[in-house]
Amino acid sequence: MTDFLSRFSCLLDVGTAANAARAFDIYTALIAEIARDDPPAEPFLLSLSPEYGPARLWLRDPGSADQQLAITFVTRFAEAFGLTGRWGFRWANIASNPVVDGFSGGAQLLDLSTGRTLEWMSTGRLLTDRLAEGGAR
Span 57-73, mean pLDDT? 91
Cβ neighbourhood burial of 107 (10 Å; 0-12, 13-18, 19+) = middle
Q: Could you report the per-residue pLDDT of 38-64, keeping only the tens digit for each?
A: 888 889 999 999 999 999 999 999 887
Q: Could you report the per-residue pLDDT of 108-118, keeping only the tens digit for each?
A: 999 999 999 99
The secondary element (H helix, E strand) that includes residue 45 is strand 45-48
pTM of the model: 0.87
Domain range annotation of the chain: 4-133
Q: Provide the terminal-to-terminal Cα distance of the chain, rounded to the nearest Å.
A: 29
Calculate what percentage of the chain has a pLDDT beyond 90: 64
Rounded to the nearest 10 degrees, what angle do helices 67-81 and 17-35 cross at? 130
Per DSSP, 40 falls in state P
Q: Which long-range contacts (CB under 8 A, 24 or more apart) does 116-119 make?
A: 118/86
Q: Rounded CA gap, 91 and 38, in Å? A: 25
Residue 18's pLDDT band, with cuts at 50, 70 and 90, is very high
